[in-house]
Amino acid sequence: MLKNSFIHIPGIGTNTERQLWDSGLSCWEQLESGNPHRIFPKRYEKIFAYTKESLEQLNNKNPKYFSDLMPPKEHWRLFPHFRSGTAYLDIETTGISMYGFEITTIALYDGCSIRYYVKDQNLETFMDDIQNYDVIVTYNGKVFDVPFIEKQFGNRLDQSHIDLRYILKSLGYTGGLKMCEMALGIDRGDLDGVDGYFAVLLWLDYQQNNNQKALETLLAYNIEDVVNLETLMVTAYNMKIRETPFYESHRLELPDRPEIPFKPDLATIDRLKKQIFGLSGSYYY
């Protein structure tokens, strides 16, 4: 889809891009044979210059060139071209603000391998591992995960960043990651109802009571987030591509679900629900 896109060219919005498609101009390479689509000469020169540069940047595998030029809600266009260098990222913390709190766990998934990082164990190795990827995918990571990581580690994450919050919002899905998952038919099974605030309680239980099952439940939850991000990314991409003339040729198959190396401990979840909230059964925040 990226090579069919013109929206990254300054001055071209979705309406103009649609006009270009309707005129028969569907990809960058077509411009190399001249101006057969009767584009106004000055506009043609500008489009041609940008598409020529775009081809070079794509050949150089530089997603930042495109993500810096596109609004966040259009970053889905990068995904298929840079999928092999993409990582799905999510963090859990000791609190819901980045000020006065710390990262407890980080989950990283690249469509093949699952990696996880735990405070006071291997958290510091995350910054080395993330350098292996050119693109990161998060939900609300531009506001929370990435600034939190940069503040705690004192280093910038310079990867292109696809934040699904903006893309899903443009499709009409809001209310947070779990609400989007529910609306799109993703079932969390035994983790249904557990959210980021409960993840804080799991970490406290692990720290205060040395409850390894609490840590395993936290990691199962954290990894579930990143595994589901891949499904959401592909789903959102297919929904966006349906709005273009390229759906039949460009749509993607939903990914296979990997085996998550941890299982939630239902006894721990139920105990914390009863202890903190005085509830049994499912709950939602």
> Residue range 234-244: average pLDDT?
97
At 192 the pLDDT is 86
* Residue bearing the bigger pLDDT, 20 or 160: 160
Give the pLDDT confidence score for residue 36 in this predicted structure: 62
**pLDDT exceeds cutoff 60 at 258:** yes
pLDDT band at 163 (very low <50, low <70, confident <90, very high): very high
Looking at the predicted structure, is the pLDDT value of residue 230 above 60?
yes
Of the two residues 275 and 36, the one the predictor is more confident about is 275
The mean pLDDT of the chain is 92
What's the pLDDT score for residue 37? 60
- pLDDT tens string 99-148: 779 999 999 999 999 999 999 999 999 999 999 999 999 999 999 999 99
Amino acid at site 14: T
Q: Where are the domains of the chain?
A: 2-60, 80-277
Distances (CA, A) of 181 to 7, 119, 165, 216, 231: 28, 28, 12, 22, 9
State what percent of residues in the chain have pLDDT above 70: 95
pLDDT at 73 over 70: yes
Mean pLDDT on 198-222: 96
Which amino acid does the sequence have at 209?
Answer: N
CATH of 80-277, one of 3.40.50.720, 3.30.420.10, 3.40.50.300, 1.10.10.60: 3.30.420.10
Report d(CA 107, CA 116) in Å as an integer: 5
Contact between 65 and 54 under an 8 Å Cβ cutoff? The reply is: yes
pLDDT confidence of residue 277? 67
| % pLDDT > 90, the chain | 82
pLDDT at 31: 87
Q: What pLDDT score does 133 carry?
A: 98
Say if residue 247 is exposed, middle or buried (CB neighbours under 10 Å; 0-12, 13-18, 19+): middle
Kindly report, residue by residue over 7-45, the tens digit of the pLDDT.
Answer: 999 999 999 999 999 988 999 999 887 766 667 888 888
CA 176 to chain centre: 13
Q: How far apart, in whole angstroms, are the C-alpha atoms of residue 118 and residue 169?
A: 31
User: What was the pLDDT predicted at 278?
Assistant: 64
